[in-house]
Amino acid sequence: MANEKILGAALKPVLPFCLCLKCCFCFCLCAGRCLSEKLETHIPDNVISGCLKAKVSVSGNILSRSVENLGDLLYLPYGCGEQNIAFMAIDTYILHYLQKTNKLSQETEKKGINYLITGYQRQLAYRKKTGAFSTFEKGEENTWLTAFVMVTFYKVQSFIYIDPKIIEEARKWLECQQRDNGCFKVSGKLYNNYIRGDVSDEVTVTAYVTAALLETNVPADNPVVKKSLSCLKDYIYDFSNTYTTALLAYVFTLAGNREARSKLLHYLDSVAIKEGDLQHWCLTPKQSPCPLCVEVTSYVLLAKIGDSLSEGDLSCSLNIIRWLIKQQSYYGGFESTQDTAVAIKAMTLYSAKVLKQEGSTSVTVSSPTDHLSFQVNQNNKLVHQELMLQDLKGKYWLRAEGTSCSVVQVRRSCFCVPTGGERKLVYLSFFFLLEMIQEYEVQHLRPSTVTIYDYYCPSKTAQFSVQQIKRLQI
């Protein structure tokens, strides 16, 4: 009998080998009239019985999902120089946002600051004697990456100590890369396409560097910035690359050049992809939404809300926000590192500058067997309200009525037994020789970890991989 009790106490439910599928449907319902949205969900045929869950959440804060899932959006920086600084940028934007909305708890601030300190120390390993930064420790100096590091370090100063000499030397190195025509030379190679956006030509790099200088409070009449703006003015009517056009619109907004800004935004408005009350931009009108589309759209939003807003700009900005919210992932981020950083930056500015603080909204979510009600007002505007849905499949109707904006998210998670088409095992055979030379005699040798960066770039779509050899005796 005793053995039976022990056996029974040890029995626990165990899931079979399966895939965890998570999906999120996001809607921004705003004031002025009664608004409604229809949502229809489908359950996979291979779902494991009893593990399907669905929740609906409502908030008056457009970044509520991101705030509620800080554990998934605050990253411990790691990897090469590109990856490390990108994670630092995301952490910085999130901490700034929480600080502005008085939502920054001591625990979150401590965690974020520790991450930033770690990222800062790691990034210094990629700093060259010239003050520039490279992707790898022994790599070449990189123009885009140096500008990215400079502006990120400048903004990080609000939370941790950054040696001002490092920012100043990065700026001086960038200034030395300026050609006689005002454009900046493209130095170095970028390996992670998801981080760099579409920064590959001299004009786009010049726009990025100029924006970084302006964001670090270098005035528009500074000789270096003045020359770079003069270079960029020659490309105001070159609309061959929507990414560059959007970035130029943001640059001239920062510089206070309303004439150039107006011309660029006028063109961008003419090529906007509109679907009902949603609006966004991609490189081509028929391109499916991707990280690059999120980044381009975010730059357009930054340009539109960076200056005085007309009624048309307000309406357009709201439609852009609606589209961005629909692209958010289950945890409130986006598909890649760079688009998350730029999108959160744009959404933060929009929230602080455009959204009304007053007003209230009543939100209902209904289905044939469910009826949930939420109230959003000034007292709970920043509160993330969440309830479980009992009806796990079928159709839902979302309805909002009131005088403020609310974000409604329906999130669903389940475990599915993988089918033949969902898993593919590929064996790649390769050989490499790694020679390690001990230069100094050291006592008490211990196992260490060596990280190898292995990259293969046959095309622009190639990415680099990171492999770890664990417990290598050195």
Per-residue pLDDT of 200-219, as tens digits, reads 589 999 999 999 999 999 99
Q: Is the pLDDT of residue 128 over 90?
A: yes
Whether residues 276 and 379 share a domain: the answer is no
Whether residues 83 and 211 share a domain: the answer is yes
Closest by CA position to 146, among listed 223, 199, 78, 74: 199
Q: How confident is the model at residue 244 (pLDDT cuts 50, 70, 90)?
A: very high
Per-residue pLDDT of 141-174, as tens digits, reads 999 999 999 999 999 999 999 999 999 999 999 9
Q: How confident is the model at residue 225 (pLDDT cuts 50, 70, 90)?
A: very high
Domain-located, residue 31: yes
Q: Are the C-beta atoms of residues 216 and 246 closer than 8 Å to each other?
A: no
- For the chain, how many structural domains are there in total? 3
Residue with tokens 């009517």: 237
Domain limit, last residue, from 379, 396, 420: 420
All residues at 6 or more sequence positions from 255 whose CB lies less than 8 Å from its CB, including other chains: 210, 214, 220, 225, 229
Q: Is the pLDDT of residue 4 over 50?
A: no
Within 10 A of 93 (CB to CB), how many other CB atoms are there? 25
Domain-located, residue 215: yes
Domain-located, residue 5: no
Whether residues 71 and 58 share a domain: the answer is no
Q: How confident is the model at residue 435 (pLDDT cuts 50, 70, 90)?
A: low
> Which CATH number do you get for residue 414?
2.60.120.1540
Closest by CA position to 150, among listed 184, 182, 179, 181: 184
Predicted TM-score (pTM) of this structure: 0.79
Model pLDDT, residue 459: 47
What CA–CA distance (Å, rounded) separates 297 from 326?
13
Model pLDDT, residue 265: 96
Question: Which range (16-20, 25-29, 324-328, 377-381) has the least confidence?
Answer: 16-20
Model pLDDT, residue 119: 92
Host domain of residue 294: 64-353
Q: How confident is the model at residue 421 (pLDDT cuts 50, 70, 90)?
A: low
Q: Are the C-beta atoms of residues 212 and 168 closer than 8 Å to each other?
A: no
> Which CATH number do you get for residue 109?
1.50.10.20
Domain limit, last residue, from 420, 437, 455: 420
Q: Is the pLDDT of residue 249 over 60?
A: yes
What CA–CA distance (Å, rounded) separates 58 from 198?
35
Model pLDDT, residue 122: 93
Whether residues 95 and 152 share a domain: the answer is yes
Whether residues 412 and 432 share a domain: the answer is no
Per-residue pLDDT of 7-60, as tens digits, reads 444 445 554 555 666 677 777 877 666 677 787 777 777 777 777 788 888 888
DSSP code of residue 185: P
Whether residues 181 and 298 share a domain: the answer is yes
Whether residues 401 and 290 share a domain: the answer is no
Closest by CA position to 341, among listed 142, 84, 23, 126: 84
Domain limit, last residue, from 405, 420, 435: 420
Domain-located, residue 103: yes
Amino acid letter, 438: Q
Q: Give 471 or 395, the one with higher predicted confidence.
A: 395
Model pLDDT, residue 5: 46
Q: How confident is the model at residue 420 (pLDDT cuts 50, 70, 90)?
A: low
Over range 453-464, report the average pLDDT. Answer: 48
Domain-located, residue 134: yes
DSSP code of residue 127: B
Whether residues 126 and 36 share a domain: the answer is no
Model pLDDT, residue 27: 79
Whether residues 238 and 368 share a domain: the answer is no
Of all residues in the chain, what percent carry a pLDDT higher than 90? 35
Over range 384-404, report the average pLDDT. Answer: 81
Domain-located, residue 256: yes
Per-residue pLDDT of 91-123, as tens digits, reads 898 888 888 877 788 988 998 899 999 999 999
Within 10 A of 257 (CB to CB), how many other CB atoms are there? 18
The pair of structure tokens assigned to 92 is 């910085």
Model pLDDT, residue 465: 44
Model pLDDT, residue 19: 62
Q: From the centroid of its chain, how far is CA 60?
A: 21
Q: Give 409 or 394, the one with higher predicted confidence.
A: 409
Model pLDDT, residue 431: 56
